Amino acid sequence: MFDQSSSTCSVSYDGMIWYQLPAGQFSPIDAKQARCPNGLSTIDAPPRPTWAIPHGRTQTRFVATSLQQAYFMPGGMQSIEAVARQNKLSVSWMAVAINFVNGAGDLYSLYHQKDADDIEGASSPRLIHYLKSKFSWYVPTVSVEGAGHERNIPGLLALNEHAFWGITWNSHGVDGTYDYGAPWGTYCADPTSYKRPQPNGQCSLLALEWTARDLTRAYLSGDEDYFSTDPDDLQQRAGFSTSGAEQYIRKLTDAYAAAGETQPIVMMSQQESNGNDTTPGDPEILAALYNQARLDGMKTETLIEAASDAKTFSAAPRAVAFPFIPGGNAIPSSIVNGQTVYPATIDYHDTEIGMSFLAGHTLPTRAFRYADDPLSKYDVPLVSLPGADFPRLEKAAVTKKLLALEIISPIRLHFGIALWASPETLRINQPNAIPAGRAGEVVIFDLQPGENQIVIHCPGCRSTTLPYST
């Protein structure tokens, strides 16, 4: 994490693509080989990379929601509305029970009139009919599909709703739900297999995730329920203090804003109303989240607005880079050699494949070939590409602004690589190159069984040693 060399220091994970490191501190990178005259040393709290700090106009949309179930406690709903109003954003209240709606009384109409809040309901014809009869302004648009049961895709489509909320990205069975492998953020879901993107590039059904997460720590720790934008998760599961969680959630929001500088994305926020009234510190953490989204210049939308807006971009290939953000007292994972600091990640998906890359890795560390999942179930993860089917990078060379790669693939496969250098430096201008914010570039191609020669026009590539994005 600290380069003590005054001369050039380079590291590599695969021995093919190398990265030149800056002198002094830099964000974590995973490497097996190093060419550093004076060596490297580690630090416990590496700096945030500049690519994870906003420095321009963001295209990230911010959606504030509140799941409402069980019993009604007015204080939680009122505190969420107060913080939202201070930051000039509307809240989408998500009702799953008629008795909760009755308990809230006139608050829905009051907040709709004052703040342009909206309400959405679960895919229950009885609940939808009740909401229509009670609120003249209610428009059923997004179905509230929670955890621990099957998503009612046929039912919501029958109600003429073409979007649903509740995918728990990377989940490993928390609350009975296992959405491991489904894309992050919003995506155009296949109505016949909702955890994967619609294969024809259309958007007849939009999927919205439960709440935005720290994509790096959620993936590498395996504790996706610890590192999220839910204040309860940060305090009760990840072991953050209230002030520590406030600082952490602001940096997390910054990362989403920075990721949205090269592509439109949606950052979801969900805080259950009752939780905001019963857990000390939750209102302050939520206020920090809402405030940072406003300071970062995110466009705030309700679920209804996001359901329409996100359909215009959620079928496109997307890549998001996410840094390591320290904090909390959660037990570290052993997935990366038991380390307490992790390399950054890039998550990519298109209609055919989802892939995750660690900083410094050319090839993904996991992949999901969506054609392998013709039927989605709430408690069954998507199928990971078997290790035996993973391609291998055999050679890399740069000549005359061309990056040439030799990749051996056991099978025919839609696949990709990541280059951890700034897209502005690489200057790759190809339709199959997808920038991951300012952190790197993902290049996609189709492999045939056996040897494949991949040539990438890369004006910024002077050798197989690239300047590491910082």
All domains of the chain in start order, with CATH: 2-47 (no CATH), 58-322 (3.20.20.510), 387-470 (no CATH)
Alpha-carbon radius of gyration of the chain: 22
d(CA 466, CA 132): 58
pLDDT band of residue 44 (cuts 50, 70, 90) is: confident
* Whole-number Å distance between alpha carbons of 225 and 169: 9
DSSP assignment of 143-160 equals EE--SSS---HHHHHHTT
The rounded distance, in Å, linking the Cα atoms of 453 and 270 is 46
225/242 Cα distance (integer angstroms): 17
- Reduced to 3 states (helix: H, G, I; strand: E, B; else coil), residue 196 is strand
- pLDDT of 233 strictly over 70: yes
Name the pLDDT band for 39 (thresholds 50, 70, 90): confident
| 372 secondary structure, DSSP code | G
Going by pLDDT thresholds of 50, 70 and 90, the confidence category of residue 1 is: low
Cα–Cα separations (whole angstroms), residue 96 to 63, 122, 250:
19, 5, 30
CA distance 167 to 326: 25
pTM: 0.96
Position 209 scores a pLDDT of: 97
> Of the candidates 177, 169, 173, which has an alpha carbon nearest to the alpha carbon of residue 354?
169
Asked if residue 352 lies in contact with residue 371, where contact means CB atoms within 8 angstroms, the answer is yes
For residue 228, name the pLDDT band (cuts at 50, 70, 90). very high
pLDDT at 374: 96
Residue 184 has pLDDT above 60, yes or no: yes
Is residue 332 scored above 70 in pLDDT?
A: no
Q: Given this model, what pLDDT does residue 25 score?
A: 82
Q: Tell me the one-letter amino acid at 385.
A: L
Q: What is the structure's pLDDT at 334?
A: 57
Which is nearest to 297 in space by CA: 85, 92, 62?
A: 62
Which pLDDT band, with edges at 50, 70 and 90, does 4 fall under?
low
Distance CA 276, CA 274 (A): 5
Residue 89 burial (C-beta neighbours within 10 Å; 0-12, 13-18, 19+): buried
